[in-house]
Structure 1
């Protein structure tokens, strides 16, 4: 899309929103007043929306005044047109899981709506794709794993034990695991099973990508009443299995990182403290250090671990090992 098209697309989205909020419709004069454009511009935009397939209609009101409204079939769905467009955005967010029941479900729903209401809206959707770009580097590809994921969902919903062949990172062959799949978790475009390992007699996490085969067994299980997958995962900085101890973590940020780190919610119990010289100290409590170690390293020289000493040592050793990879053969410093 050219830069010239972007302002017009923003106008089109605002018009859709206005009409979605006003079931009885708005006149060109009313639209022009609230949007700050001429009636001619508003009419041209409305005609374009109708031309590309959006269900807009024009009717005559009092004194033969023309009103624009959304077609009745959309109103009967109890969805506003803007809500349907939001559904389209939600489908984009699930695109990393294409091929799984998670994506195919919302895709099928939208296709039915699309066939009834948006049959000619391909151009508008293409423009939306330019406005709402989804970056998915490093996400998993589940396009060929629909059957496996469907079996996983059945096992989770029916609380049935699984036997699976699973290959751990760094191992050439898969091992056999008997697990009770308690929940599925999505993290950074990948799916994980939160399960009770009958061999380890503890909760373990298994990445779906590494499952080579699985079989649903007849044996059923009960999830302990005291277990909450949300509370369990809050002990980690991602999806790594929490340990049986708690760590109080403090990380100091410098430069631009001191500002940008505050812009996001990294963990439910995070806290920030600003220093007079512009530094920011982030504190949080976790039961696993593996993932936060990698996260700290991603900030380079703009982050330094203050606590705990174990994490300080882990980061230091990682940096020393990395530095050796870049050391010149004749570099003795």
Structure 2
């Protein structure tokens, strides 16, 4: 299973701690990762790291119930380099080709030197021209607001507050000061998620509607109840309804559409069962604008079975659409 750069960095830190200290409790490992990486590490993330180190690297990590601490049961050190198999090399080649599709995205321009080093080291010559013969990417537009990405990345990395003017599509422009936690891309738009000081809550802002952002010197601490891995776990898209609870969304797709939905799930929570009438899909989600739009795009090939409130919303949208064609 491929290991991403952030996970591997945490593995190395865990390895360092367990080699320096014979025993280390969970909090010690967590604080070491957060201190050296200058970011928060969720409890479940670190638990997964420990399990993955055992499974993928044969790390002899065991837990001492008496000391309530982890330790190596035998001499062990993480490899200083990651070996590349043929499929790893192919994946890197594909990754380089993918990055070259976004030459105008400011944040990726910082990787240009690194990409050139990878191409040289792997002896990848004219990769984009070669792969263009058999791989065609969707043309990606220039993202409005992408010029602010570097600034927001630095604000998140340094845990510094940031201020900006935000022009809502429906309201007048307002000034905001936030503690930025996360950047998220959805359908060719970038968003920043952070704690809004004025509203005392986590809010989401589109970078395409942001003007004159300024990085402040004042630092902040990430809210303990914010976990970037969990925040969008019951959402499609970018909307999170903080006061709402997710519901079981039950959809019925006709048999023609069933195969597409099975091979490309709507969401991670999807559970599907083929019936005589079609594919019955259950999702655990918040009812948001994006979910409604996702259902409507399937047209007559899907029917909402539950909840009733969502059925009525979809029916109202369909009726409004029908009336548009009567004029």
Q: TM-score range by the shorter chain?
A: 0.5 to 0.7
Q: CA deviation at 1:79?
A: 4.8
CA 1:136–1:78 in 2, change beyond 3 Å: closer, same or farther?
A: same
Q: Which has the larger radius of gyration?
A: 1
Work out whether 1:266 is the aligned partner of 2:228.
Answer: no
Matches within 5 A, 1:1-333: 79=84, 83-94=88-99, 98-100=103-105, 102-115=107-120, 118=123, 121-122=125-126, 125-136=128-139, 140-141=142-143, 145-146=146-147, 148-171=148-171, 173-246=172-245, 247-277=247-277, 279-327=278-326, 329=327
Work out whether residues 146 and 190 of structure 2, in 8 Å CA contact, stay in contact via their aligned partners in 1: no
User: Aligned partners of 1:140, 1:317: CA distance in 2, in Å?
Assistant: 35
Work out whether residues 159 and 180 of structure 1, in 8 Å CA contact, stay in contact via their aligned partners in 2: yes
User: Aligned partners of 2:242, 2:303: CA distance in 1, in Å?
Assistant: 23
User: Aligned partners of 2:234, 2:83: CA distance in 1, in Å?
Assistant: 40
For 1:24, the equivalent position in structure 2 comes to none
| Greater fraction of residues in helix | 1
Q: CA deviation at 1:233?
A: 0.6
Coordinate RMSD, CA, aligned: 2.7
User: Aligned partners of 1:265, 1:243: CA distance in 2, in Å?
Assistant: 25
Work out whether residues 203 and 241 of structure 1, in 8 Å CA contact, stay in contact via their aligned partners in 2: no
User: Aligned partners of 2:92, 2:282: CA distance in 1, in Å?
Assistant: 36
User: Aligned partners of 2:186, 2:131: CA distance in 1, in Å?
Assistant: 25
Work out whether residues 194 and 204 of structure 2, in 8 Å CA contact, stay in contact via their aligned partners in 1: yes
1:91-118, Cα deviation, whole Å (9 max, x unpaired)? 4444675444542244322213335664
Q: Aligned pairs, how many?
A: 246
Work out whether residues 160 and 218 of structure 1, in 8 Å CA contact, stay in contact via their aligned partners in 2: yes
Q: CA deviation at 1:254?
A: 0.8
User: Aligned partners of 1:309, 1:93: CA distance in 2, in Å?
Assistant: 43
Q: CA deviation at 1:190?
A: 2.8
User: Aligned partners of 1:250, 1:205: CA distance in 2, in Å?
Assistant: 28
Work out whether residues 254 and 280 of structure 1, in 8 Å CA contact, stay in contact via their aligned partners in 2: yes
User: Aligned partners of 2:101, 2:196: CA distance in 1, in Å?
Assistant: 28
User: Aligned partners of 2:324, 2:142: CA distance in 1, in Å?
Assistant: 28
Q: CA deviation at 1:296?
A: 0.5
Name the TM-score, length of structure 1 as normaliser: 0.66
CA 1:98–1:324 in 2, change beyond 3 Å: closer, same or farther?
A: farther
1:2-26, Cα deviation, whole Å (9 max, x unpaired)? xxxxxxxxxxxxxxxxxxxxxxxxx
Q: CA deviation at 1:228?
A: 0.8
For 1:233, what is the secondary structure of its paired residue? Answer: coil
1:282-325, Cα deviation, whole Å (9 max, x unpaired)? 11111242111000111010011111222212212221222222
User: Aligned partners of 1:217, 1:95: CA distance in 2, in Å?
Assistant: 33
User: Aligned partners of 1:212, 1:261: CA distance in 2, in Å?
Assistant: 39
Name the TM-score, length of structure 2 as normaliser: 0.67
Work out whether residues 186 and 238 of structure 2, in 8 Å CA contact, stay in contact via their aligned partners in 1: yes
